[in-house]
Structure 1
Amino acid sequence: MPRKVWIIGSQKFKLLFLLLLGVFITLGGFIINNSLMPVFSTNEEPAAFYRADIKEKKVALTFNISWGEDKALPILDVLKEKEVNAAFFISAAWAERHPDIVEKMMKDGHTIGNHGYRYEHYPRLEENEIISDLNLSHKKIKDVTEKDVEYFRPPHGDFNKSVLETVDRFGYSVVHWSVGGQDWENPGVDTIVNNITDEIKPGDVILLHASDSAKQTGEALPIIIDKLHNENYSFVDIEELISQAEANIEEIK
């Protein structure tokens, strides 16, 4: 019995080839797009939070403290009077010396963050020295607060990508700032107030200091709070800003 041979004309062959090619391209594009989507939508690089990209007039007030007790207590009194919660990034060595002030911070509802132990510039340290400082500071702060704090601000606010990668392994969220009062320079109460209120935008993280070296912060603080309240700003916890859907993450190289 003779075999049947199917012969496809050149025009029909081209048409069939183009149809099959179109199917493969469409299918391939679907597979590639769906497999790559999670990769492009996930940011796994270490980052420092410094402000939230929001329209609501919300800001977070944060303080660094590493020395002294005379200025911290009046600042806590102002915050309590104005019914404002803040985040205090405390040096662990300072926390060891002043557990009563840390206890008052927590009792008043403020957030406690880690600000290191030795108060040295992390980028100048070897990785093992940073790890040692992180371990020690975390332990000492936990001894005082009985909590594993979540937020970390490197001493001097100084960090790079390598530092962030090391801190990230400890599970901390690094919090920087977007507006500072330069109060550690003691430039005058009016200047501190203007440094904050002239530059403020919704979602900003404000930096002030509660160490004894910042001699004018306590006087400037109620003016800053009242002025921002008059401009319809509200002070929120740092975790509320971080949880916002849209946030600016500082690119670190």
Structure 2
Amino acid sequence: MTYFYTLNAKRTKQFLLLVAVSFFTALLLFSKNFISMPVFSSQDTPKAIYKGEKGIALTFDIGWGDEKASKIVQTLIRHKTKATFFLSGSWAERHPDLVKKMKEHHFEIGLLGYQYVDYTTLTNEEIKKDLLKAQEVFKKLQIEDIELLRAPTGHFNKDVLHVAKEMNLTYVHWSINTDDWKNPGSEHILSKVKEAKSGDIILMHASDSAKQTNSLLPEVLQHVSNADRMVTVSQLIDNGVAETKLVH
């Protein structure tokens, strides 16, 4: 009988230990998830658009380079598809004809700042100064209706969002990152594209670092078209409720 109680006590202790470990593990996972969750606040707080409701938006960032962008624009024109380009002012300044060509073919244009700099390292005034310089470039190119913004490096915080709101710009992030600028291979890029569903914003690049993008673009467009209809970011936002997030 003594043996039974001793064994039972051991099992009880093991059970309680297992419960305690499970509890603290669950608490740790919850804490991590809570920390990484998008932070939603009041309606007046500026947020970043990263997803829409209907359609799929294909976006391209161009911060530098003289070779790849033209080919990608030609491929998009040939396939008669829609796309949104986020252009740095310094790049647009050096490629005015290509920027005008984008506009003529009804591609949407958003700001990617002027210089390639991490906005999270700048003050609000420095961010605003960089954006005003970029806007001035596009005004000279007779493109004055730009309403979308993406930070040059893709990094943003609440200060960037506040400046965007102050300048009547909508900050646009993404829900699918193809990592094409890293040239990870066609299998990796296409696997990311195949994840796209209605409402997604896909990030690609047309800078010279993206060496595999143009050759894969016809297949990318085919996959996206099969998943849903292609739209610009503005159309995606207008199509329904856009999902937003604010990071600290």
Which TM class, normalised by the smaller chain length? Answer: 0.7 to 0.9
Structure with max Cα Rg: 1
State which of 154, 169, 176 in structure 2 corresponds to 1:157: 154
Work out the CA distance in 1 between the residues paired with 2:103 and 2:169.
19
Cα shift at 1:128: 1.9
What secondary structure sits across from 2:192 in the alignment? helix
Is contact 2:46–2:161 with CA below 8 Å preserved after alignment?
A: yes
5+ residue gaps, structure 2, are 1-41
Is contact 1:142–1:149 with CA below 8 Å preserved after alignment?
A: no
Matches of residues 57-68 of structure 1 in structure 2 within 5 Å? 58-68=55-65
Work out the CA distance in 2 between the residues paired with 1:232 and 1:188.
22
Is contact 1:190–1:220 with CA below 8 Å preserved after alignment?
A: no
Q: Give the letter for the 1:235 counterpart.
A: M
Instruction: Provide runs of 4+ in structure 1 moved above 6 Å.
Output: none
Work out the CA distance in 2 between the residues paired with 1:138 and 1:251.
24
RMSD (CA atoms): 1.4
Is contact 1:189–1:219 with CA below 8 Å preserved after alignment?
A: no
Work out the CA distance in 2 between the residues paired with 1:143 and 1:202.
36
Cα shift at 1:222: 0.8
Q: Deviations over 1:141-177 (max 9, x none)?
A: 2212332311111111111011110121000011111
Aligned partner of 2:237 in structure 1 is: 242
Aligned partner of 2:102 in structure 1 is: 105
Q: Give the letter for the 1:127 counterpart.
A: N
Is contact 2:186–2:212 with CA below 8 Å preserved after alignment?
A: yes
State which of 102, 108, 119 in structure 2 corresponds to 1:122: 119
Q: Residue 252 in 1 paired to residue 247 in 2?
A: yes
Q: Give the letter for the 1:90 counterpart.
A: L
Cα shift at 1:104: 0.8
Aligned partner of 1:44 in structure 2 is: 44
Aligned partner of 2:9 in structure 1 is: none
Aligned partner of 2:82 in structure 1 is: 85
Is contact 1:92–1:138 with CA below 8 Å preserved after alignment?
A: yes
Q: Deviations over 1:217-241 (max 9, x none)?
A: 1011111111232x34210121111
Is contact 2:50–2:174 with CA below 8 Å preserved after alignment?
A: yes
What secondary structure sits across from 2:168 in the alignment? coil
Work out the CA distance in 2 between the residues paired with 1:178 and 1:234.
17
Q: Deviations over 1:19-76 (max 9, x none)?
A: xxxxxxxxxxxxxxxxxxxxxxx71110111111x3x5x2011100011121111111
Work out the CA distance in 1 between the residues paired with 2:152 and 2:165.
16
Work out the CA distance in 2 between the residues paired with 1:76 and 1:159.
27
Work out the CA distance in 1 between the residues paired with 2:223 and 2:120.
37
- What percent identity do the matched residue pairs reach? 39
Q: Give the letter for the 1:209 counterpart.
A: H
Matches of residues 172-187 of structure 1 in structure 2 within 5 Å? 172-187=169-184
Cα shift at 1:135: 1.2
Work out the CA distance in 2 between the residues paired with 1:70 and 1:228.
25
5+ residue gaps, structure 1, are 1-41
Aligned partner of 2:185 in structure 1 is: 188
Is contact 1:114–1:141 with CA below 8 Å preserved after alignment?
A: no
Cα shift at 1:106: 0.7
